[in-house]
Structure 1
Amino acid sequence: MKFAEVVRRRRMVRDYDPGRPVPAEVRERLLEHAMRAPSAGFSQGWAFLVLESPEERDRFWTATSTGGAPDGWLTRMRRAPLLIVPLSNKAAYLDRYAEPDKGWTDRDEARWPVPYWDVDAGMAALLMLLTAVDEGLGACFFGVPPERVDAFRAAFGVPGEYHPVGCVSVGYPGDDDRRSPSLRRGRRPVEEVVHRGSW
C-alpha cells in the first residue's frame, strides 16, 4: 500500500474480531517500526508492554477500568487480541542531555519546552497505528485514566520511572465497528489550521 493511502485510511478502530489473532510477524513489525520513531538526542526513552494472552488483556482492562458493567465502547474494545502500551521514561532524557555532547549537567527539567519523552512515545504509537493500516489491521490509541495508572503499574510490575502515555489496541476490525460521532464535525479546512509566514 502506498504511504499516502495508509495515511488516508488511518482511523481509530473500536471493534475487533476476537477470533483472529494478530500474526506474530505483524506484531514484531509493529514494534520494530515503533522503535524507528524520532527521539530527542536519540534518547530512545521508551518501552512497550505487549499484552496478548486473554489473562494479560483481562488484567489490563481490570486495572484500567472503574468496574461495573462495561459500556458498549469497552465491550467492543475488549475484543482486541493485542494491546501495546507505550511508556515514556523522563529520566532517560534528562540523563542523555547531561552527557558531554549535550552539556546540561544539571538535568534541569525546566529546560524542556514540552515533555519530549511523552511526545516521542506518542510518535512511536503513531508509527504502530500506520503500520497496522499497512498490514490490513485496525488499531486505536486511547488513554489510561490518570486515577488508574497506579493500579496498572501494580498489575504489571511497571517500574516507577516509566509512565504509560496510552495504549494501542490492534486487531482485525469487527462487524460492529461504528464510526465515532465526533467525526460528524468533519475535518477542519486547511486555511483554518495552516498559517503561512504569520498568523
Structure 2
Amino acid sequence: MEFDEVVRRRRMVRSYDPDRPISPELVDKIVQHGLRAPSAGFSQGWSFLVLTAAPDRDRYWTSTADGDGPPDGWLTRMRTAPLIIVALSNKSAYLDRYAQADKGWTDRDEARWSAPYWDIDTGFAALLMHLTAVNEELASCFFGLPAVRVQAFKDAFGVPEEFHPIGALTVGYPAPDKRSPSLRRGHRPVADVVHHGRWASSGEA
C-alpha cells in the first residue's frame, strides 16, 4: 500500500473479526516496525507487552476493567481483538542516558526536559505499529488504560515499577464497526492549527 493511502485510511477501529487470528509472522512485523521509531539520545526507553494468547488477553481486560462502561460499549467490542500490544515507557532510561558523558546532565534533573520524551518516543513507536497494521489491511485502535487500574494491570503481568503504560493497541481483522460520535466534530480548519512564521489566530491577516 502506498504511504499516502495508509495515512488516508488510518483510523481507530473498535470492532474485530473474532474468527481471524493474526499470524505470528505478522505480529512480529508489526512489533519490529515499532522498534524503528526515533528516541531521544537513542535511549529506547520503551517496552511492549504483546498479548496473543486468549488467557493473557482475558487477564488484560479483567485487570483494567473499571466497571464504568456499559456492557455493550466500545470496550466490549474491542475484546474480540486477537492481539493487544501494551506500550510502556521507562523514564529512568532517559535520565540515565542523558547523565552519560556525551550528554552531561549528571544531576538527572527532570526539569531539563521540556516534555516527557520517554512517553513521546513510546507513542511514536505505537504509531508505527498502528500504521503497519493499516498497511497490512488490519484494523487497530490506540487507547489509554484507566488511571485507577494501572497498578492492577502491572501486578497482573509482573511489570517492573519503572515502566509506565502509556496506552494499548488492539489489532485484528476488521468487522463492521460503529462510527465514533467524536468524528462528528470533523477536522479543525488547517488555518487554526498550522501557523507559518508566527502564530496567527483564525481570520487574522
| TM-score band, normalised by shorter chain | over 0.9
Task: List per-residue Cα deviations over 1:77-108 (Å, max 9, x = no partner).
Answer: 00100000010000000000000000111111
Aligned runs of 1:40-189 on 2, under 5 Å?
A: 40-67=40-67, 70-175=71-176, 177-189=177-189
Where 1:166 maps in the other structure, the secondary structure is strand
Where does the alignment leave 5 or more consecutive residues of structure 2 unmatched?
200-205
Note the C-alpha offset of 1:136. Answer: 0.6
Unaligned runs of 5+ in 1: none
Distance 1:32 1:88 in 2: 17
1:191 shift after superposition: 1.3
Structure 1 stretches of 4+ with a deviation exceeding 3 A read none
Aligned to 2:19: 19
Report whether the alignment pairs 1:32 with 2:41: no
Letter in 2 for 1:30: I
The AA in structure 2 aligned to 1:86 is A
Residues in 2 aligned to 1:70 and 1:82: alpha-carbon distance in whole angstroms: 21
Tell me the SS of whatever aligns to 2:84. Answer: strand
Contact 2:66 2:146 in 1 (8 A): no
Letter of the structure 1 residue corresponding to residue 50 of structure 2: V
Amino acid at match of 1:56: D
| Percent of paired sites with the same residue | 68
Q: Which whole-Å CA distance do the structure 1 matches of 2:35 and 2:71 have between them? A: 33
Q: CA deviation at 1:71?
A: 3.2
Count of residue correspondences: 198
